[in-house]
Structure 1
């Protein structure tokens, strides 16, 4: 089959899109919208009119995803996940095997009906704390936690956006939308085998990158770079602010002033006039708050030995021994600041921004002291360094600030925060919110109505949204805030690519090519290869884009081989959900990347054998349950 000019144009657009997805020169949602615009502008070649290009925004899959974001947020906001996490903590307290089994199983089951991002967000700090209590590295639990969420997403149609998109593609190509529980038997098989792997071989393969029970100064290698200096009366710093240091361009010091300690004397007992006893009070200011430096102030700074010496000499400062600075001194109870570890989630507004652009110091009295990206730790130049999804930050901040960051979904606190996460103490599980039974009931009814009645899932899911608002489980404003709009634009923008592949003959060309290469191979082996190719592409690009791109190819390949295309659609769906081998393949992988201190290759080390195992399990399951 000859390749048409239109198909060639579409392949070029796909190549550009894949390059942008991988390099992240543009955010993925903007890349998808750019593709949408290009398809419409090049309509004579792509055969995608403007109305077809924007039709993705009205796609049943996209509408359902919007509704499920809202329903999931209502359930998570009612405290159900927190409650479950606390009870799991009680049941598994001190036993790492039971902890791993319970968290992977419960996370996967929740992910079958609720968006897995908030589930993993709540479980990360809980699992990290329980691992510390058990004396085990948190790294041993966090990657299995993410993989379990991905496995659970294959249990029902609403388990992930991948499933909904695959259903949309299947309806367009073979007039067979996926039912709510149509692939649940296969999902249960894959989930069961996956969990067994994670608690056995996977646990053994998962590296212990972070040692348990380390102070934050040890975890971020700050002990060698933290020091304190006292400001002498004749110091040029007197009367200036910490921010003024950066105006001295001639010094160009790689140094951060973290906080200012000031001692003042007050009368201890005003009635004791004769004795006039006094006591020392320490006032502490986070550097950058605009507080002028005074004589006698003690500055806590981050700098190496050579830079500290230059700093002290230039500004007439007295150095203290480095041993006096540790996590407790840096965030003592008497101080307004606190040290908090927090993760930047994939949908945070901070992604691609900088501390300087967000004005963290000026607006929130918050300073980024260190950053862990995978197993790499950075301590300098952070004010202008861009945040990435999955970064773990060590912040010097205030209780009100971290509460605000959590409420705005900009950060997921790991510890030291005003407990937006479940109480880990086994004797004090939180009580369920009064709205919990109602919100869970509404979600269950919405799912069951779609499965047991002629009503479609977009209709029942939107009905559930209305019910959540009417019953007070969620406010209208919170409903809009619950939606990850970048994901919505990504899905809607990428859908026209599948249409263009179909209309220009590009999908048929690839299908013929794969079918010709597979001549002599049993269809079951072709299904396995399709599963692996889909999983590999999803691990590099995005799973949703992979479904849209390979869905039409899978159908045309099946037709070339003369077998039921539905089996090939399922192979694509489950393959796209198996992006285990990189941290960038799936958003929950990114969420645990920093907190686990993982290396990029750790995902291949643990996820590679899991992918190989599930390629066989999935193929056998498709063959036995659905036939080829």
Structure 2
């Protein structure tokens, strides 16, 4: 007969395996795990749903809104502009200042959001300085993880660590409890990335990969392999389509082609038109009425374009084709939490939703190809889109779903030219003061700050505040907390704690601390750092109690280790985000990440007993 403890471990093992399978969403796995514990009677209803009233869950949700205010107000963008102004043309300045900036920002707002802001800026700077972006993007992702461990609110495991100690009767951690060791880890990480890690990522600049000094639409079109799908056609006086709207022609359904741009007759040259003003280049609306003399840029198969010309009387331009307008193109990557993942381009309604046409896409480790309506958008994809620069900028604001990596579109976000960024800065500053000096409980300070971000317009609409919350993370935390409860009730925590003590306790508490750090580190490479932390904090506290030592160094070891995940591209959302942009392989993360993992672990094991004595 299986015991309750064995049943909990069975559910935990199945849950962990499901976390490892990319096709299963982590939040749905966590909900299923919660229901399994409830339906088997291992926990009761109040215990099952207690996580949703936990103050950590409330704080994490509110922090996403605070972060949205920082991003939408333009405050984070101003930090990125500071990076541009401070680097000059020095690779050393760019690398060191970038690592320091992303670490500081990640200490106060979402790691993923910070990387989403700085990623296109770093790529653009690399183009200007003739550096391959792959040289800097893994360091960018790693620095965001190290920066998240600097403060209490930098990452969810830190908040859970403080709450776990408070619930166990040891008192909560303060805002800067993590900072001294976190700063030493960050310094060690920066030195490693500059002197060693950067050299492992040294790649030659290839202008065909879009790393030339300025944005060039022709390079991007060539990189995505769609040069042979762009055609110029002219409407002669006798054409049958004159007087019809583009919508009435039903070109996508009839010929499987897309009309991208219109060049009016006033253009002075048929060639080298990239970079001309919008008055000469127009992105075609469905309501546009075709006129004689119009020249269109059409995207599609050559046979389909020839058929169109034969049936409508249009003339296919035989010479060199027009260049697409620079400001009408953008390269976009999908974030790990994007709502567009696992949907086809047709299901997303990309053109209707964003006003943009998807021309081509690149799956991980595969060459680029022309996009089709039934093509699924997958984890790690990058896509090439075409449309108005205003629509491209609107897409770039969707930081939860997409990051516009390369674009020459103008920045028209009005928040960047208003006083909203100052207001957001003041709100963030007073939130931090309230937490540091403990004027009010941390959860109150964060919720008030989130509300002020909405009331002051830093988050432009209430709906956007809800949209800013990463509900996957919130649900994951709320649903995994009962797993820790079930392990404690059935003796599973005691079992794991006794196993650690029996194997390493004879050597001493430092060996046990190192063992906890190593176990957490392995788990965090493959499953959520939040889930890892929730499961192992009770083990850390009970192990310390059984050893008769302070639980603080043990809990801090789990907190730091769960956040410092460098060895795989799926370990953290920032790792996944930079993979496509930097054209990395899985091995790149292994080669650069494992030595950094060992270095940070060594620093933690040596310094934790010094700052938090046993």
TM-score by length of 1: 0.83
Aligned to 1:242: 251
Alignment partner of 1:52 is 2:47: yes
Q: Decide whether aligned partners of structure 1 residues 539 and 453 sit closer, same or farther in structure 2, where only a CA change above 3 A counts.
A: same
Q: Whole-Å Cα distance in 2 between the matches of residues 260 and 472 of structure 1?
A: 36
| Correspondence 1:4-19 to 2 at 5 A | 5-19=3-17
Shift of 1:375: 4.3
Q: Whole-Å Cα distance in 2 between the matches of residues 355 and 454 of structure 1?
A: 50
Q: Decide whether aligned partners of structure 1 residues 499 and 237 sit closer, same or farther in structure 2, where only a CA change above 3 A counts.
A: farther
Aligned to 2:335: 345
Alpha-carbon deviations, 1:488-535, whole Å to 9, x = none? 112111211111111111121122223222254343233223223212
The secondary structure found in structure 2 opposite 1:453 is: coil
Q: Whole-Å Cα distance in 1 between the matches of residues 295 and 398 of structure 2?
A: 35
Greater mean deviation of Cα atoms: 577-586 or 479-488: 479-488
Q: Decide whether aligned partners of structure 1 residues 357 and 236 sit closer, same or farther in structure 2, where only a CA change above 3 A counts.
A: farther
Q: Decide whether aligned partners of structure 1 residues 291 and 456 sit closer, same or farther in structure 2, where only a CA change above 3 A counts.
A: same
Shift of 1:147: 0.9
Q: Whole-Å Cα distance in 1 between the matches of residues 265 and 370 of structure 2?
A: 35
Aligned to 1:216: 220
Alpha-carbon deviations, 1:421-442, whole Å to 9, x = none? 999xxxxxx9774233432232
Q: Decide whether aligned partners of structure 1 residues 421 and 42 sit closer, same or farther in structure 2, where only a CA change above 3 A counts.
A: farther
Aligned to 1:550: 536
| Correspondence 1:320-359 to 2 at 5 A | 324-325=320-321, 329-331=323-325, 338-359=328-349
Aligned to 2:450: 465
Shift of 1:617: 0.7
| Correspondence 1:156-555 to 2 at 5 A | 156-173=151-168, 175-208=170-203, 211=206, 212-213=211-212, 215-223=219-227, 225-226=228-229, 228=231, 241-245=250-254, 257-259=257-259, 300-301=298-299, 324-325=320-321, 329-331=323-325, 338-362=328-352, 364-380=354-370, 382-409=372-399, 410-416=401-407, 418-420=409-411, 433-453=418-438, 455-474=440-459, 477=462, 478-555=464-541
Aligned to 1:141: 136
Shift of 1:236: 13
Alpha-carbon deviations, 1:344-388, whole Å to 9, x = none? 223332122221001123554422222234443331454223323
Q: Whole-Å Cα distance in 1 between the matches of residues 526 and 142 of structure 2?
A: 16
Q: Decide whether aligned partners of structure 1 residues 131 and 292 sit closer, same or farther in structure 2, where only a CA change above 3 A counts.
A: same
Q: Whole-Å Cα distance in 1 between the matches of residues 48 and 32 of structure 2?
A: 11
Q: Decide whether aligned partners of structure 1 residues 490 and 290 sit closer, same or farther in structure 2, where only a CA change above 3 A counts.
A: farther
Q: Whole-Å Cα distance in 1 between the matches of residues 298 and 263 of structure 2?
A: 14
Q: Whole-Å Cα distance in 2 between the matches of residues 263 and 109 of structure 1?
A: 47
Alpha-carbon deviations, 1:229-261, whole Å to 9, x = none? 769999999996433357xxxxxxxxx634367
Alpha-carbon deviations, 1:585-609, whole Å to 9, x = none? 1111122121111112211111111
Q: Whole-Å Cα distance in 2 between the matches of residues 406 and 162 of structure 1?
A: 29
Q: Decide whether aligned partners of structure 1 residues 520 and 312 sit closer, same or farther in structure 2, where only a CA change above 3 A counts.
A: farther
Q: Whole-Å Cα distance in 1 between the matches of residues 601 and 190 of structure 2?
A: 15
Q: Whole-Å Cα distance in 2 between the matches of residues 346 and 511 of structure 1?
A: 34
Unaligned runs of 5+ in 1: 247-255, 269-280, 424-429
Q: Whole-Å Cα distance in 2 between the matches of residues 69 and 571 of structure 1?
A: 25
Alpha-carbon deviations, 1:36-64, whole Å to 9, x = none? 22222222xx2x21111111111111111
The secondary structure found in structure 2 opposite 1:413 is: strand
Shift of 1:446: 2.0
The secondary structure found in structure 1 opposite 2:343 is: coil
Q: Do 2:252 and 2:258's aligned partners in 1 also have CA atoms closer than 8 Å?
A: no
Q: Decide whether aligned partners of structure 1 residues 586 and 320 sit closer, same or farther in structure 2, where only a CA change above 3 A counts.
A: same
Aligned to 1:277: none
The secondary structure found in structure 1 opposite 2:257 is: strand
Q: Whole-Å Cα distance in 1 between the matches of residues 194 and 19 of structure 2?
A: 33
Q: Whole-Å Cα distance in 2 between the matches of residues 394 and 378 of structure 1?
A: 10
Q: Whole-Å Cα distance in 1 between the matches of residues 598 and 609 of structure 2?
A: 17
| Alignment: residue pair count | 584
Q: Whole-Å Cα distance in 2 between the matches of residues 61 and 51 of structure 1?
A: 17
TM-score by length of 2: 0.84
Shift of 1:564: 2.8
Aligned counterpart for 2:103 among listed residues 99, 108, 111: 108
Q: Do 2:334 and 2:382's aligned partners in 1 also have CA atoms closer than 8 Å?
A: yes
Q: Whole-Å Cα distance in 2 between the matches of residues 23 and 103 of structure 1?
A: 33
